[in-house]
A and B are shown apart, each in its own frame.
Chain A
Amino acid sequence: EPEVTQTPSHQVTQMGQEVILRCVPISNHLYFYWYRQILGQKVEFLVSFYNNEISEKSEIFDDQFSVERPDGSNFTLKIRSTKLEDSAMYFCASSEALRGRFGANTGELFFGEGSRLTVL
């Protein structure tokens, strides 16, 4: 069964260092997302990506964050200068473009197993 894969599963970094989290979405999916979950807290939306550009981003996704789809298969999240509060589980997700009522995408989001980022 196709799945979203993420690497690394766990990364430990020093504050101020750059981090790149990688994701390989399901191959025929067109929408890509990054979410994060701080330990014990809710799953928070970071950014959605469609047609090679950001379609929406949250207030968390500031100038320190960027996303890229460099080669048609990988989808990366870069944090330029990590802060302690960036420590979290980062989930990549992808979905097909299934238009339901009101034009909304009601397709299932398939999540990867997450990349745990620890900033020291």
Chain B
Amino acid sequence: TQLLEQSPQFLSIQEGENLTVYCNSSSVFSSLQWYRQEPGEGPVLLVTVVTGGEVKKLKRLTFQFGDARKDSSLHITAAQPGDTGLYLCAGVNTGFQKLVFGTGTRLLVSP
């Protein structure tokens, strides 16, 4: 069974602070995706990282895929209340039959 552990589980910060969310596994994934989910809605894709060591930036969000393709991180600079939500990493296994979701990180950014 492929498991993706995210840390921290919960994060409550003030507007303007920086934060990093980690996604770790003992399994190798061919690619890794980050989703954000708001209450009552389905997950929405933020980014896909494919190459080990790859770094992608999406405005104030920076995503990194580990060299061994077993882990990833999401860094948010100068967090805003609109960043509040559940952040999910999800790994794509080789041959892709399914997307395995991580345990999730719930972020609350207060004004």
Which A residues have a C-beta under 8 Å from some C-beta of B? 4, 33, 35, 42-45, 48, 55-56, 58, 91, 93, 100-106, 108-114
Quote the shortest CB–CB distance from B101 to chain A (angstroms).
Answer: 4
Interface bits B39-51 vs A (CB < 8 Å: 1, else 0): 0111111001010
A residues in contact with B50, CB < 8 Å: 100-101, 106
Q: A109: nearest residue on chain B (CB-CB)?
A: B99
Cα-based distance from A112 to B42 in the complex (angstroms): 6
Interface bits B71-111 vs A (CB < 8 Å: 1, else 0): 00000000000000000101011111111111110000000
A residues in contact with B43, CB < 8 Å: 43, 91, 109, 111
Cα-based distance from A116 to B96 in the complex (angstroms): 27
Are B96 and A93 closer than 8 Å at their CB atoms?
no
Given contacts A44-B101, A114-B42, list 9 more A-B pairs with CB under 8 A.
A42-B88, A43-B88, A43-B90, A91-B42, A102-B94, A102-B95, A103-B95, A109-B43, A111-B43
Chosen A-B contacts, 25 in total, with CB atoms closer than 8 Å, are A33-B98, A33-B99, A35-B101, A42-B88, A45-B98, A45-B99, A45-B100, A45-B101, A48-B97, A48-B98, A56-B97, A58-B98, A100-B30, A100-B31, A101-B31, A102-B30, A102-B94, A103-B95, A104-B30, A104-B94, A104-B95, A104-B96, A106-B31, A108-B48, A111-B44
Which B residues have a C-beta under 8 Å from some C-beta of A? 30-31, 33, 37, 40-45, 48, 50, 88, 90, 92-104
Are A106 and B48 closer than 8 Å at their CB atoms?
yes
Quote the shortest CB–CB distance from B4 to chain A (angstroms).
Answer: 9
B residues in contact with A102, CB < 8 Å: 30, 94-95
Quote the shortest CB–CB distance from B29 to chain A (angstroms).
Answer: 9
Quote the shortest CB–CB distance from A24 to chain B (angstroms).
Answer: 14
Cα-based distance from A93 to B44 in the complex (angstroms): 11
